[in-house]
């Protein structure tokens, strides 16, 4: 049953822890989102250039520069088209055209031979029909052709040998084949040809000698082959055909055959240089890719005042977001968003891995983000005076003092990046911020007085001046100009220290942070509470001073905050001011008021000094971090003396509960409060030792620490066993120094000694 209860408790505790973690995660996300939004708005307004109300053809009253490199798309496209047009068309030589042409010529002449045979057969048929009727070819042939056969003069009579070279030659006249053959037969002959010939050309093919046709074929092939070897393109095809006609006119053949050859050749001449569209387009694309884009360079005037705005200028202005009616420059907005996101993510990763305790304190995260955003906002306003005057080191100084140097260092880098972006990529600004911030962190790390921050500002000024001077000399080579610009950085360093010094109390108050400077101020004996403690409870004051020495030494031995431990020890027993004489160290006589009180009441008075101290601290506005020492320096330890006294006085000892005599706690939550608890216990115990020696003191210290450890008082303060060993050694060294043996002075009557010498 008990085991079941324990498991339920563990389960409930786990759920509660998960709930706390979820709440912390939600807070972190809210802080991150709000910080991102604020930084984005500040940066967007800082890098967005002035917008103009213009359109194509308007004449601006002032010149407009390009805030960044922007492509002149129209001019670039114009050059691309020019590059494409400069690429000549690519042709591919087609050897098949020549081969096909030769084959076509041979095939056509084979077709001519076929129709010559068909004509010869038809002629023989006509002759046989005429012979059967007793007619001669020169006589009336109405029965054969349906038309009158007319004789023609000698110059119009064609002597037309057929296949065998013979022809009918009745007297001085020959047959007119166009009249002899029926039109249907002539069309039949044409149908057997793959080219279109006129009737005259067809009859020339029928009536010519075989040798002449062979000559025509040879001549035709020679001319066509020579022309095709010259590589004919589509655009010079007409020229090639004219050349072919001229060549045919020179052939030693009859006009009719030259006409046939010309018709055949013209139908067969084709380009053998074929346009390669894919290769041409590829070459043109290659030429287009080699064209360098035309840009308006950063700082270059896109538009001059008094000159009308061209289309390409307007397009560039619109893309840069410089036209009021046009949307913002999308690429600029996206790029800015990515850079800010990267900065924030890297910063969050750093905190999560190396500064885990800070991520568990939302108020610290809020303070870091507020300081970060305020410095950027100052940068946005002051960059119009001069970029080198921006007090960027303010963040480095404040975060070093308020949080820790490592966080300040990372924030300083982030601010340097964003301010460089804010000032249009001025690397000199980023350099000055980095160097000045790092020196500011180093100088502020151990500053314990506000005046130290003034000297920090002066040294920051020197670092900024040197970095700006070095950068400007590299860029311009003008020493005089570099010195003049570096003076702005001097002002930036002084301005940064003034801002940090002036706003430091505000951050301390708003976020409840106590800085080393504030701790030193609170340790001043003239502080109202400490002064009261000294005057009204001197024993407690003396006890607190010794505890402070022990605590500071032990804290420094384990790397804890020694100043915080010391000042916490000064204030840990402030509650005793309410009833100082109820505490033994303030009792000047042997009279002890507790002797007359019930042990339970006495225990209540002793225990109440922790809560009384908090109330006094709140009244005197002592920071909460010191109030923790008042509540936690006894943890939940019991007041053993009055517990035993109560048991001894009680008739029923079992009714006396130890828990009723315990302090209300909580147990120490930090190494510093735990160290003060141990120092308080050790100091009281050692003060009551008889004949203390180094060995006895060390043995007592280790025994007291062990008792606190076994009682569970050190469970929540993150101290290791190694730390406890270092604390014991530090306690021993301080106490042995305070309780060193003194030389016993002899009892001498000085008045009597002087009398003897006289």
pLDDT at 20: 58
Task: Please list the residues that pair with 52 across neighbouring strands.
Answer: 323
- Give residues with Cβ within 8 angstroms of 299, minimum separation 6: 65, 66
- Whether pLDDT at 538 is above 60: yes
Q: Where are the domains of the chain?
A: 92-275, 333-513, 527-738
Q: What is the CA radius of gyration of the chain?
A: 57
The lowest-confidence range among 19-23, 247-251, 324-328, 467-471 is 324-328
Alpha-carbon distance of 321 to 54, in angstroms, equals: 12
How far is residue 302 from each of residues 47, 66, 71, 409, 608, measured CA to CA in Å? Answer: 18, 6, 11, 41, 79
Mean pLDDT of 595-599: 81
- Identify the pLDDT of residue 415: 94
Q: In angstroms, rounded to a whole number, what is the distance separating the alpha carbons of residues 182 and 164? A: 22
Distance CA 467, CA 416 (A): 13
Q: Helix (H, G, I), strand (E, B), or coil: what is residue 758?
A: coil
User: What is the 3-class SS of 433-455, one letter each residue?
Assistant: HHHHHHHHHHHHCCCCCHHHHHH
**Model confidence at 604: pLDDT above 90:** no
Judge whether residue 551 has pLDDT over 90: yes
Rounded to an integer, the average pLDDT of 267-288 is 82
Per 3-state DSSP, the chain is made up of helix, strand and coil in percentages (nearest 5) of: 70, 5, 30
State how far the Cα of 418 lies from the Cα of 426, in Å rounded to an integer. 11
Mean pLDDT for 347-376 is 91
Lowest mean pLDDT among 5-14, 252-261, 265-274, 700-709: 5-14
Please answer whether residues 580 and 612 qualify as being in contact, where contact means their C-beta atoms are separated by less than 8 angstroms: no
Q: Is 296 helix (H, G, I), strand (E, B) or coil?
A: strand
Supply the mean pLDDT for the chain.
80
Cα separation, 427 vs 343, whole angstroms: 17
What are the Cα distances from residue 423, in Å, to 380, 387, 416, 461, 512? 9, 7, 11, 20, 35
CA dist 395 and 368 (Å) reads 9
Q: What angle is formed at CA 174 by the lines to CA 170 and CA 179, rounded to 5 degrees?
A: 125
Assign 326 a pLDDT band (cuts: 50, 70, 90).
low
Q: What mean pLDDT is predicted for residues 405-426?
A: 91
pLDDT over 60 at 3, yes or no? no
Q: Tokens 């024993």 belong to which residue?
A: 539
Alpha-carbon gap, residue 126 to 120, rounded angstroms: 10
pLDDT value of residue 155 = 38
Question: What are the Cα distances from residue 708, in Å, to 380, 549, 550, 713?
Answer: 55, 20, 17, 5
88 CB-near residues (< 8 Å, 6+ apart): none
Nearest of 612, 638, 617 to residue 570 by alpha carbon:
617
Contacts of 649 (CB under 8 A, 6+ apart): 599
Cα–Cα dist 233/229, whole Å: 11
Query: What is the rounded CA–CA span in Å between residue 533 and residue 644?
Result: 30
Between CA 277 and CA 243 the distance in angstroms is 28
Pair 610, 631: CB distance under 8 Å: yes
Indicate whether this model's pTM tops 0.75: no
Structure tokens given for 286: 């290659």
Residue 492: closest CA among 447, 436, 442: 436
Residue 177 has pLDDT above 70, yes or no: no
pLDDT digits (tens, 9 = 90+) for 90-137: 777 777 788 888 888 888 888 888 888 888 877 787 777 777 765 554
Give the largest Cα separation in the chain, rounded: 205
Task: State yes or no: pLDDT of 571 exceeds 60.
Answer: yes
Confidence at residue 631, expressed as pLDDT on a 0 to 100 scale = 93
Look at residue 650 and give its three-state secondary structure. coil
> Which of 264-273, 360-369, 392-401 bottoms out in mean pLDDT, i.e. has the lowest?
264-273
The candidate with the shortest Cα–Cα distance to 387, out of 431, 429, 417, is: 429
Candidate ranges 39-43, 75-79, 328-332; pick with highest mean pLDDT: 39-43
* DSSP character string of 649-681: H-S-GGG--GGGGB---PPP-SHHHHHHHHHHH
Residues 626-683: tens digit of each pLDDT: 999 999 999 999 888 888 888 777 666 667 787 788 888 899 999 999 999 999 999 9
Q: Give the 3-state secondary structure of residue 294.
A: coil
CA dist 156 → 151, 153, 202, 212, 255 (Å): 9, 5, 17, 20, 14
Contacts of 616 (CB under 8 A, 6+ apart): 529, 574, 575, 577, 578, 622
Mean per-residue pLDDT, 297-307: 71
Is residue 46 very low, low, confident or very high in pLDDT (cuts 50, 70, 90)? confident
Q: Is the pLDDT of residue 216 over 90?
A: no
User: If you count them, how many residues does the chain have?
Assistant: 758
Q: Tokens at residue 149, please?
A: 């056969």
What pLDDT score was predicted for residue 756? 60
CA distances to 363, 473, 633 from 658, in Å: 39, 77, 19
Q: Does domain 333-513 have CATH number 1.20.1090.10?
A: no
pLDDT (0 to 100) of residue 302? 72
CA 243 to chain centre: 69
Cα 566 to Cα 105: distance, rounded to the nearest angstrom: 118
Q: Strand, helix or coil at 589?
A: coil
Contacts of 432 (CB under 8 A, 6+ apart): 388, 392, 464, 467, 468, 471, 489, 492
Backbone φ and ψ of 127, nearest 5°: -65, -40
Neighbouring CB atoms inside 10 A of 688's CB total 9
Ordered alpha helix ranges (H), 90-168: 95-132, 142-145
> Are 437 and 416 in contact, with CB atoms under 8 Å apart?
yes
Is pLDDT above 90 for 399? Answer: yes
User: Is it true that domain 527-738 has CATH number 3.40.720?
Assistant: no
pLDDT at 505 > cutoff 90 = no
Helices 199-207 and 255-268, packing angle to 10 deg: 120
């Amino acid at each position: 049953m008990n085991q079941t209860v324990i498991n339920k408790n563990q389960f409930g505790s786990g759920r509660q822890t998960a709930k706390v973690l979820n709440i912390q995660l939600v807070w972190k996300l809210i802080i991150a989102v709000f910080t991102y939004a604020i930084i984005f708005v500040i940066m967007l307004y800082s890098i967005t250039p002035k917008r103009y109300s213009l359109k194509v053809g308007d004449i601006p009253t002032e010149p407009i520069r390009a805030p960044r490199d922007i492509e002149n798309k129209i001019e670039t496209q114009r050059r691309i088209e020019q590059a494409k047009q400069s690429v000549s068309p690519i042709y591919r030589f087609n050897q098949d055209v020549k081969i096909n042409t030769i084959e076509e010529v041979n095939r056509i002449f084979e077709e001519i031979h076929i129709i010559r045979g068909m004509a010869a057969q038809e002629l023989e048929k006509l002759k046989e029909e005429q012979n059967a009727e007793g007619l001669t070819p020169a006589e009336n042939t109405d029965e054969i052709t349906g038309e009158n056969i007319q004789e023609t003069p000698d110059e119009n009579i064609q002597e037309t040998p057929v296949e065998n070279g013979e022809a009918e030659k009745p007297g001085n006249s020959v047959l007119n084949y166009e009249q002899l053959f029926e039109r249907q037969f002539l069309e039949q002959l044409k149908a057997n040809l793959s080219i279109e010939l006129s009737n005259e050309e067809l009859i020339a093919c029928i009536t010519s000698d075989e040798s002449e046709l062979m000559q025509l074929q040879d001549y035709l092939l020679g001319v066509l082959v020579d022309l095709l070897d010259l590589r004919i393109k589509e655009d010079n095809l007409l020229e090639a055909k004219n050349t072919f006609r001229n060549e045919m006119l020179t052939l030693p053949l009859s006009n009719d055959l030259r006409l046939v050859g010309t018709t055949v050749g013209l139908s067969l001449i084709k380009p053998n240089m074929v346009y390669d569209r894919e290769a041409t387009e590829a070459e043109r694309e290659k030429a287009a890719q080699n064209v360098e884009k035309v840009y308006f360079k950063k700082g270059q005037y896109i538009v001059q005042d008094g000159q009308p705005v061209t289309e390409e200028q307007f397009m560039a202005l619109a893309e840069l977001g410089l036209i009021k009616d046009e949307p913002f420059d999308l690429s600029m907005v996206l790029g800015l968003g990515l850079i800010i996101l990267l900065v924030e993510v890297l910063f969050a990763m750093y905190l999560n891995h190396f500064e885990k305790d800070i991520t568990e304190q939302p108020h610290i995260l809020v303070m870091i983000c507020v300081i970060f955003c305020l410095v950027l906002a100052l940068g946005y306003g002051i960059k119009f005076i001069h970029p080198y005057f921006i007090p960027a080191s303010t963040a480095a100084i404040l975060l070093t003092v308020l949080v820790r140097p490592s966080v300040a260092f990372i924030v300083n880098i982030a601010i340097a990046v964003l301010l460089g972006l804010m000032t249009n990529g001025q690397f000199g600004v980023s350099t000055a911020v980095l160097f000045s911030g790092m020196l500011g962190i180093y100088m502020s790390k151990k500053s314990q007085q506000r005046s130290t921050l003034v000297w920090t500002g002066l040294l920051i000024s020197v670092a900024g001046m040197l970095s700006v001077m070095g950068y400007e000399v590299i860029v311009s080579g003008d020493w005089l100009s570099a010195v003049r610009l570096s003076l702005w950085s001097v002002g930036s360093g002084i301005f940064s220290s003034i801002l940090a010094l002036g706003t430091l109390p505000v951050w301390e108050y708003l976020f409840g942070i106590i800085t080393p400077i504030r701790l030193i101020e609170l340790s001043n004996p003239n502080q109202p509470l400490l002064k009261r403690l000294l005057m009204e409870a001197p024993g407690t004051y003396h006890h607190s001073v010794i505890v402070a020495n022990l605590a500071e030494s032990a804290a420094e031995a384990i790397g804890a905050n020694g100043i915080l431990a010391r000042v916490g020890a000064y204030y840990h027993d402030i509650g005793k001011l309410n009833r100082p004489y109820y505490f033994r160290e303030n009792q000047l006589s042997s009279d002890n008021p507790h002797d007359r009180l019930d042990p339970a009441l006495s225990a209540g008075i002793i225990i109440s000094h922790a809560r009384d101290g908090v109330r006094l601290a709140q009244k005197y506005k002592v920071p909460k971090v010191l109030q923790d020492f008042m509540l936690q320096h006894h943890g939940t330890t019991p007041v053993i003396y009055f517990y035993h006294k109560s048991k001894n006085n009680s008739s029923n000892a079992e009714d006396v509960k130890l828990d009723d005599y315990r302090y209300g706690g909580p147990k120490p939550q930090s190494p510093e409060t735990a160290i003060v608890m141990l120092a308080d216990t050790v100091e009281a115990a050692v003060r009551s030792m008889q004949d203390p020696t180094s060995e006895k003191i060390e043995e007592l210290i280790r025994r007291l620490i062990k008792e606190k450890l076994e009682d569970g008082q050190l469970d929540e303060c993150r101290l290791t066993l190694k730390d406890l060993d270092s604390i014991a050694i530090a306690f021993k060294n301080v106490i042995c120094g305070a309780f060193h043996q003194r030389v016993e002075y002899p009892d001498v009557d000085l008045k009597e000694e002087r009398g003897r010498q006289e």
